[in-house]
């Protein structure tokens, strides 16, 4: 608890004195006035990624979805901080105009993982942040919670291709709690959970003992641990931060039953696509 309090005090000093040079490079980052004020006052802030806006769906559905997600965060008493890079400047918290600009840029924005951040900034480009880049910037700003759809993971046949999402490595080194609908269904979920264990990442499932799979409630994989209430989630995050474990936390909330697709149907479609791709 004491370490977390010291972190909040340090964060408060940073926002009250924004011109003081920082060893973490925050001077390169633009934090919106609303997000900055919320962090300074210790109010809850939730980080949001932006790849879903640029690459997830076409305009104007992407803008409508982004606004709806931000509205849901506000309705639940927190301040949304959508993260993106615009004209080479990492932005933590987008104005309505910036949100619309990113939505209209769409796929012309670079899909930006941690690997790509320096190049997008150095070239003055526009970047939509993935899970790994969003976690990086959220941690830099002192935002402890990040909400997304599905995280990346180990791809099928990853033992041969070494195709492993940087999301997993980021979870292993960046202390941000990521709330998602689980691992994307197209991935190798058992190997993804093994990789998270190797990285020392606490992977919890919310109100279920089975790890969810994004489109579906069930994956056939047992969740490493279970939490059943917001209070249990808070205690888990508090214990993690107080112990300074240095890794992220993954809390997977299954998609509601009324929106869930059949696991067998999704898997058969994936297998058909993989066969056609080969």
Catalytic option among 14, 70, 184, 217:
184
Mean predicted confidence (pLDDT) in 163-174 = 96
Q: Are 32 and 47 in contact (CB under 8 A)?
A: no
Q: In whole angstroms, what is the distance from residue 120 CA to residue 249 CA? A: 27
Nearest 5°: the CA angle 148, 126, 91 is: 60
Helix boundaries (H) for 123-262? 131-141, 158-161, 166-171, 189-198, 230-242
**In percent, how much of the chain has pLDDT > 90?**
74
Nearest 5°: the CA angle 51, 56, 59 is: 105
Burial 142-181 (b: 16+ CB within 10 A, else e): bbbbbbbbbbbbbbbebeeeeebbbbbbbbbbbbbbbbbb
Check residue 3 and give its pLDDT: 52
Is the confidence at residue 1, as pLDDT, over 70?
no
The three-class DSSP label of residue 105 is helix
Catalytic option among 26, 49, 170, 217:
49
Cross-strand pairs, 83? 92
49 included as an active-site residue = yes
HSE value, Cβ hemisphere, 13 Å, CA-based, for 193: 20
Helix boundaries (H) for 106-157? 117-122, 131-141
Q: Closest by alpha carbon to 93, among 144, 50, 145?
A: 50
Q: How is residue 127 annotated by DSSP?
A: E
Check residue 269 and give its pLDDT: 84
More confident of the two residues 75 and 21: 75
**In this predicted model, what pLDDT tens digit does every residue of 16-51 receive, in sequence order?**
444 333 445 657 899 999 999 999 999 999 999 999
Q: Are 8 and 42 in contact (CB under 8 A)?
A: yes
Residue 38, judged by CB atoms within 10 A of its CB (0-12, 13-18, 19+), counts as buried
Is the confidence at residue 100, as pLDDT, over 80?
yes
**In this predicted model, what pLDDT tens digit does every residue of 240-275 receive, in sequence order?**
999 999 999 999 999 988 887 666 777 788 788 888
Q: What is the pTM of this model?
A: 0.86
Nearest 5°: the CA angle 248, 252, 253 is: 145
Distances (CA, A) of 73 to 70, 82, 88, 201: 5, 11, 27, 25
**In this predicted model, what pLDDT tens digit does every residue of 175-204 receive, in sequence order?**
999 999 998 888 999 999 999 999 999 999
């Amino acid at each position: 608890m004491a370490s977390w309090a010291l972190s909040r005090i340090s964060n408060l000093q940073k926002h009250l004195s924004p011109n003081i040079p920082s060893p973490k490079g925050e001077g390169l980052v633009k934090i919106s006035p609303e997000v900055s004020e919320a962090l300074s006052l210790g109010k809850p802030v939730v980080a949001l990624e932006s790849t879903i806006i640029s690459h997830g769906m076409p305009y104007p559905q992407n803008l409508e979805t982004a606004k709806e997600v931000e509205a849901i965060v506000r309705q639940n008493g927190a301040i949304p901080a959508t993260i993106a890079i615009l004209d080479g400047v990492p932005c933590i918290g987008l104005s309505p105009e910036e949100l619309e600009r990113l939505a209209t840029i769409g796929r012309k924005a670079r899909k930006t993982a941690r690997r790509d951040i320096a190049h997008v900034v150095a070239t003055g480009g526009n970047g939509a942040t993935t899970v790994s880049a969003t976690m990086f910037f959220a941690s830099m700003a002192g935002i402890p919670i990040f909400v997304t759809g599905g995280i990346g993971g180990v791809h099928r046949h990853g033992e041969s291709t070494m195709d492993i999402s940087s999301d997993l490595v980021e979870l292993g080194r960046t202390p941000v709690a990521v709330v998602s609908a689980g691992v994307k269904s197209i991935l190798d979920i058992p190997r993804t959970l093994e990789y998270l264990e190797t990285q020392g990442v606490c992977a919890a499932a919310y109100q279920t003992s089975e790890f969810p799979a994004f489109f579906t409630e069930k994956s056939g994989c047992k969740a490493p641990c279970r939490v059943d209430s917001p209070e249990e989630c808070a205690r888990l995050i508090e214990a993690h931060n107080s112990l300074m474990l240095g890794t992220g936390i993954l809390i997977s909330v299954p998609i509601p039953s009324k929106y869930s697709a059949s696991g067998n149907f999704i898997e058969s479609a994936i297998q058909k696509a993989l066969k056609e791709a080969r």
